[in-house]
Amino acid sequence: MQHFLGVEELRRALESQAGVDLLRPAEAVFASMLGSWGQQQRSRGLTEDTVTGRAGVVARFADFAGTYPWQWQAADLDEYTSVLRTRGLAVSTIRQMHGTLSVFCDYLIDPAYDWVQICESFFGDTPSQICLSWNTTRHLQDYEGHPGRRALTYEELQHFFDHADSKVEAAVAQGRKGALAALRDAQMFKTAYAFGLRRAELRGLDLADLHFNAKVPQWGQYAALHVRWGKAAKGATPRRRTVLLVPELAWWIEGMRQWVEEGRDLFAPGELAAMWPTERGARVSVEYIDRRFTALRRELGLDPALKLHCLRHSYVTHLIEYGYADRFVQEQVGHAHASTTAIYTSVSGDFKNRILAEALRRFNTLEDS
């Protein structure tokens, strides 16, 4: 961990002008601000990745502004935001940056800490809150993703999985290398859809994450998946959940059994527990997963806006269409709030027509009685 001076140590060093670090007092104070803020966040239980990521956001803004936090102005944030918008950054990314800077400024001006007094005493200026209601990006709507990122239709999914399977057959028929990797990738994408997994959740699966379900003993260890790398909340550790396989997607079992019992060991993974090993004895990367999905999508001529995450959209949509309760779907995909699940739900016209037909039958029954 990078060394920084604590508040009292920093105050004494500034007053005595002692120490090599204090040859550049402004830099030393800024480093101590970031270091002390990091300690405060760790005390709150935030992960090291979150602490490091937030420090990076603050450092990049400071580099852009060319000044230190006690010199920052709201206009600096306005200009920085404008530059980020011209670079095409997503609204959600900019809002997250605003949130990080706002939290940092709140920490600096909090009376429980001494940064205001230190800055006023030694620099004649004080930090202030530069993230205000009129210059920060607000969350105005539930979903801010690209409109083209939608659930795949049943036909698109079938084409996608058939195409992935054809890669295995083609490699075997032509005697080329890559048949085993193609088999792994095909089953990997089917797993992402069959359990509604995010990229990190999919990549992080181990053999031990296959689970039984007493309600369907005939499915053996392929009845559920234990997800250990779920999306973390506010810098906490990854959430865990168990996702049950639903009967409508039980077709997944045959391919998964073939992969686990016959295919995976051909990679010679040794003691590697990963569900999806590589030829080099490592776990597949999220970058690789994205590249392979993109390649298959392009070969099929599907909409470029469709990303791997759309398989998760498809899972939620199709479970709703199958008639599963909203609460069940919410638990399956690991959403803390029902409203998040609703964002992902884009039920098909056939489903809506079915609901309408049922309503019309009830209405006609009432009229006839």
The catalytic site residues sit at 198, 234, 309, 312, 335, 344
d(Cα 257, Cα 210) in Å, to the nearest integer?
A: 11
The answer to whether 283 and 274 have CB atoms below 8 angstroms apart is yes
Whole-angstrom Cα Rg for the chain: 27
3-state secondary structure of 225: strand
Residue with tokens 């639903």: 246
What does residue 243 show for φ and ψ, rounded to 5 degrees?
Answer: -105, 125
Tokens coding 168: 């295995």
Per-residue tokens: 18: 């002692």
Residues 6+ apart with CB under 8 A from 50: 41, 234, 235
CA dihedral (131, 132, 134, 136) positive or negative: positive
Quickly tell me which residue has 């008639």 as its tokens.
323
Contact (CB, 8 A) for 113 and 38: no
Residue 256: CA atoms inside 13 Å, Cβ hemisphere, count? 27
Q: State the helix-helix crossing angle for 25-43 and 91-109, rounded to 10 degrees.
A: 100
Return the SS3 of 222.
helix
